[in-house]
């Protein structure tokens, strides 16, 4: 691999080597990302990478885990789609069996989580090897800031430019410009994001 590529300004050589190693293990028809479009730090785990779509300038920081679904327990459904310039902070966990879509310029603080899948508390199958599960979509808009340790639950929609406070637990549909804090999260402010 030559280090004289014009794409080298987007990622240091060691990051490109990791990205290239990931790409080499995938069949060409399944690759939806390129080593020039993202950086991937050591310790990152991507499960079912064929269901991951990554925009340009995405950063996956150390020890992040992205589970993109596609397994038998979720009926081979699910995916994660990250827009341009998304930052997934260190130790983040993104579960996408219910599908996860993230808009451009969104930032996940350290150890934040998205749970597009969860156990079904009403299921009679809780004490089996295949317990009941819910697989619910999560949609996160553009320019959203998610604080360290926050948890975003299934069936959540965050509009553009939302802010989620550290350690908040978010469930529900929130308009653009909402600021959410607490467990459970509550709306404390809404900025006018128009014009």
Average pLDDT in the chain: 80
Contacts (Cβ under 8 Å, ≥6 apart) of 121: none
- Give the residue-averaged pLDDT of 81-99: 94
Angle at 122 between CA 120 and CA 127, to 5 degrees: 75
Global pTM reads: 0.75
Q: Give the percent of the chain with pLDDT over 70.
A: 69
- Give the residue-averaged pLDDT of 123-136: 63
Check residue 1 and give its pLDDT.
37
Question: Has residue 131 got a pLDDT over 80?
Answer: no
Domains of the chain as residue ranges with CATH: 6-120+128-190 (2.160.10.10)
Residue 21's pLDDT band, with cuts at 50, 70 and 90, is: low
Q: Please give the Cα distance from 28 to 60 (Å, whole number).
A: 22
Residue 156's pLDDT band, with cuts at 50, 70 and 90, is: very high
- Give the residue-averaged pLDDT of 167-185: 96
The answer to whether 93 and 103 have CB atoms below 8 angstroms apart is no
Question: Has residue 182 got a pLDDT over 90?
Answer: yes
Check residue 10 and give its pLDDT.
45
Q: Please give the Cα distance from 98 to 115 (Å, whole number).
A: 8
Give the residue with greater pLDDT, 8 vs 66: 66
Task: Output DSSP code: residue 154.
Answer: T
């Amino acid at each position: 691999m030559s280090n004289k590529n014009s794409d080298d300004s987007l990622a240091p050589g060691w990051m490109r080597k990791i990205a290239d190693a990931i790409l080499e293990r995938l069949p060409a028809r399944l690759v939806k990302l390129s080593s020039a479009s993202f950086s991937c730090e050591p310790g990152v785990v991507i499960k079912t990478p064929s269901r991951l779509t990554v925009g340009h300038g995405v950063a996956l920081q150390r020890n992040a885990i992205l589970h993109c679904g596609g397994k038998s327990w979720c009926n081979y459904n699910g995916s994660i789609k990250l827009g341009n310039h998304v930052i997934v902070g260190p130790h983040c966990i993104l579960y996408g069996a219910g599908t996860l879509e993230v808009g451009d310029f969104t930032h996940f603080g350290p150890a934040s989580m998205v749970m597009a899948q969860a156990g079904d508390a009403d299921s009679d199958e809780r004490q089996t090897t295949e317990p009941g599960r819910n697989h619910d979509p999560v949609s996160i808009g553009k320019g959203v800031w998610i604080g360290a340790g926050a948890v975003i639950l299934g069936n959540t929609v965050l509009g553009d430019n939302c802010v989620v406070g550290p350690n908040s637990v978010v469930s529900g549909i929130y308009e653009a410009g909402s600021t959410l804090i607490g467990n459970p999260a509550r709306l404390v402010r809404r900025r006018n994001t128009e014009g």
